[in-house]
Amino acid sequence: GQSLEQPSEVTAVEGAIVQINCTYQTSGFYGLSWYQQHDGGAPTFLSYNGLDGLEETGRFSSFLSRSDSYGYLLLQELQMKDSASYFCAVRQNQGGKLIFGQGTELSVKP
Amino acid sequence: DGGITQSPKYLFRKEGQNVTLSCEQNLNHDAMYWYRQDPGQGLRLIYYSQIVNDFQKGDIAEGYSVSREKKESFPLTVTSAQKNPTAFYLCASSIVPGDNEQFFGPGTRLTVL
């Protein structure tokens, strides 16, 4: 089978750093993506890792370790507007569809 | 402005009726997708299309049908055969099939009474 595992909920305070983990088990792997979705809204693309290592985009960074079938999204200097659900997604092959995790609901407190 | 539009935002239907959800994009993207999202859940792929006049079943295609007669349009019909149709439906597109970045529409929340 294929599965992506993420924590269901994470809570952090404004200004802090939070890490959202994603482990995957899929029949193929062609990259890990992260999406953000505010309540009732459209998911928006945050980042992509095709190779091992860290990708940084402003306050957000994403990491991948293919040997561990593991990745994470790191959010720094948390702001209230970062409260949202975050989804990891795996593409199994070139040209293939994305498989999404169940999502992690991040709550940022004052 | 380029983007993806879905209409309507909220839709109510009686049980046993077919209903068609609209999805239009003016991004000139080749690939389009339909996802279903249930409360507290991830996105599950219903159907996808890599090119005009072609589409493939996703993971939960039963009870749904699609067409792709134009590059810009990818309507989804929820048929009476779908056992539990009440959900949030999201349409997305990507420049090419398999692109890691998909662009999503605002979604249609369907409630079947």
Confidence (pLDDT) at A28: 87
Q: Tell me which chain A residue has its CA closest to the CA of residue B104.
A: A42
Q: What is the pLDDT of residue A27?
A: 86
Residue of A nearest to B38 (CA): A102
Contact A97 B98 (CB under 8 A): yes
- B10-to-B7, B29, B52, B67 alpha-carbon distances in Å: 8, 25, 27, 22
The DSSP string of B3-35 is: -EEEE-SEEEE-TT--EEEEEEE-S--SEEEEE
Contact A43 B43 (CB under 8 A): yes
Structure tokens at B12: 């109510």
CB contact under 8 A, B107 and A41: yes
Task: Decide if pLDDT at A1 tops 70.
Answer: no
Label each residue of A1-61 as H, E or C: CCEEECCCEEEEECCCCEEEEEEEECCCCCCEEEEEECCCCCCEEEEEECCCEEEEECCEE
Rounded-to-integer distance, Cα A72 and Cα A55, Å: 11
Nearest-by-CA chain B residue for A92? B98
CA B65 to each of CA B1, B20, B77: distance values in angstroms, whole numbers, following the listed order: 29, 9, 5
- Whether the pLDDT of residue A20 is over 80: the answer is yes
Are B90 and A42 a contacting pair at CB < 8 A? yes
Query: What is the pLDDT at residue A88?
Result: 97
Give the DSSP H/E element, type plus range, for residue A108. strand A104-109
Residues 6+ apart with CB under 8 A from A96: A28, A30, B98
Closest CA to B36 of B21, B24, B25, B56: B21
Q: Quick: pLDDT tens for A63-104.
A: 999 999 999 999 999 999 999 999 999 998 777 789 999 999
Find out whether A44 and A82 touch, Cβ atoms under 8 Å.
no
pLDDT tens over chain B, length 113 residues: 679 999 999 999 999 899 999 999 999 999 999 999 998 888 999 999 999 999 999 999 999 999 999 999 999 999 988 889 999 999 999 998 888 899 999 999 999 98
Residue-level pLDDT at B28: 95
Compute how many other C-beta atoms are within 10 angstroms of the C-beta atom of residue A36: 20
Q: How far apart are CA B37 and CA A68, in angstroms?
A: 28
